[in-house]
Amino acid sequence: MSKTEIVTINEVGPRDGLQNQKVPVNTAGKLAMIHALVKAGVRHIEVSSFVSPRAVPQMADAAQVLEGLPAEDEMHYSVLVPNQKGYQRAKSAGAKSVAVVLSATEVMNQKNINMSLASSRTVCNSVISEAKEDGLESRGYISVAFSCPFEGPVEPGIILELAQEMLESGADEIIIADTIGAACPAEVSGLFRLLTERFGANTMENRFSAHFHDTRAMALSNVWAALQWGIRKFDSSIGGLGGCPFAPGASGNLATEDAVVMLHQCGYDTGIDIKGLMKAIEVSEKLIQHKLGGRMMPWLSSRKNI
Ligand code: COA
Ligand code: ZN
């Protein structure tokens, strides 16, 4: 690398992380977590989801979370919306960026949002178009992009199709998500190669990002594989918090501190301060009442001068 390259971390702890936590975290707690992340230099945060409060009670206060967000310069806050109703709620609450979730398989769509793959495609693409008309940023998750807990391995062809549709509908970003943490670096490389061939290197760098879970301890190596294909934006979750309540086997996300340490050591800049992240982890641990930490936590905690 000739100059320091920027890699953007999109922190998903307050959404993907908390949605699976049994201990209810109140709005003030969520805002304390977000505040600590902002202080650590995180500039992209997925703060909540406008889903059914019956399906995910932890996300019932999405509108109040949006209302209380720290108004720091250059913050990019995003919220997840599963359907039209979620989009309308997010828009009324003042969201500037929405993320839709399209699972790559029939059964995963049914289990997650009670829709067929075909209806989910229609709904996601219409929300994306509407967001574009309304001047909101839109991001499209392609969930279970490598393997589905119900249907097994996913053919890359469907991922290319879904990504193309969402880009054509006007999505600003496509997030390739390994929701259950089943992918290995060779598979990640294989999919990003095909995506690069279809959409070009420039689109990969500017409009694609990746979301890995660390179920099989391969999240960091998957980040490395995606970096080689020009991906410069990654979702991660503080302390590895996370999992999807509707996808059996989805354990924690790639831990933000793991991603940041690896990226910095490899010469990339994330703008995130690791000490600040450790503080944000402490705040989050108090809220969810258990210990957090990714693969590097024992090493990080043993260092006095990180
Ligand atoms: N926000 C709040 N309430 C919603 C909603 C939304 N986005 N979408 C639907 N609802 C309400 C409806 O108004 C209706 O309420 P009522 O019974 O009081 O009239 C009820 O939920 C059922 O509506 P319906 O359209 O039949 O939804 P459903 O039961 O098929 O559930 C979802 C569909 C998408 C709302 C639900 O599955 C969901 O929220 N899933 C969340 C998935 C998730 O968060 N996954 C993890 C992240 S990927
Ligand atoms: Zn996830």
Pick the CATH number of 8-302 from 3.40.120.10, 3.20.20.70, 3.40.50.800, 3.40.190.10: 3.20.20.70
- 10 Å CB burial of residue 204 (0-12, 13-18, 19+) is buried
Cα(102) to ligand 2 centroid in Å equals 12
Closest residue CA from atom 19 of ligand 1: 52
Confidence of residue 305 (pLDDT cuts 50, 70, 90): low
- 10 Å CB burial of residue 233 (0-12, 13-18, 19+) is buried
What pLDDT, in 10s, does the model give residues 171-200?
999 999 999 999 999 999 999 999 999 999
Q: What proportion of the chain, given as a percentage, has pLDDT over 90? A: 92
244 catalytic residue (yes or no): yes
Cα(181) to ligand 2 centroid in Å equals 9
Given a cut of 90, is residue 65 above it in pLDDT? yes
Cα(131) to ligand 2 centroid in Å equals 23
Closest residue CA from atom 29 of ligand 1: 114
At residue 230, the pLDDT reads 97
Lowest pLDDT segment from 102-106, 227-231, 288-292: 288-292
For the record, the structure tokens of 249 come out as 């086997």
What pLDDT, in 10s, does the model give residues 67-108?
999 988 899 999 999 999 999 999 999 999 999 999 999 999
Out of 124, 184, 244, 266, which one is annotated catalytic?
244
Given a cut of 70, is residue 306 above it in pLDDT? no
Which ligand has an atom closest to residue 100 CA?
A: 1
Which ligand has an atom closest to residue 92 CA?
A: 1
Ordered by start, the domain boundaries in the chain are 8-302
* CB-defined site of ligand 1, < 6 Å: 19, 49-52, 55-56, 80, 82-83, 85-86, 89, 101, 112-114, 244, 246
**Can you list the pairs that 284-290 forms with residues at least 24 positions away whose Cβ atoms lie under 8 Å?**
284/13, 284/17, 284/33, 284/36, 284/238, 284/239, 284/241, 285/239, 287/23, 287/25, 287/29, 287/30, 287/32, 287/33, 288/18, 288/21, 288/23, 288/25, 288/241, 289/23
- Total-model pTM: 0.96
Give me the mean pLDDT over the 256-260 stretch: 98
Q: Provide the terminal-to-terminal Cα distance of the chain, rounded to the nearest Å.
A: 24
**Residue to probe by mutation, ligand 1, list 46, 47, 49, 52, most atoms within 8 Å of CB:** 52
Cα(116) to ligand 1 centroid in Å equals 14
What pLDDT, in 10s, does the model give residues 132-156?
999 999 999 999 999 999 999 999 9
Distance CA 282, CA 292 (A): 8
Given a cut of 90, is residue 274 above it in pLDDT? yes
Cα(55) to ligand 1 centroid in Å equals 7
Closest residue CA from atom 36 of ligand 1: 113
**Residue to probe by mutation, ligand 1, list 19, 51, 141, most atoms within 8 Å of CB:** 51
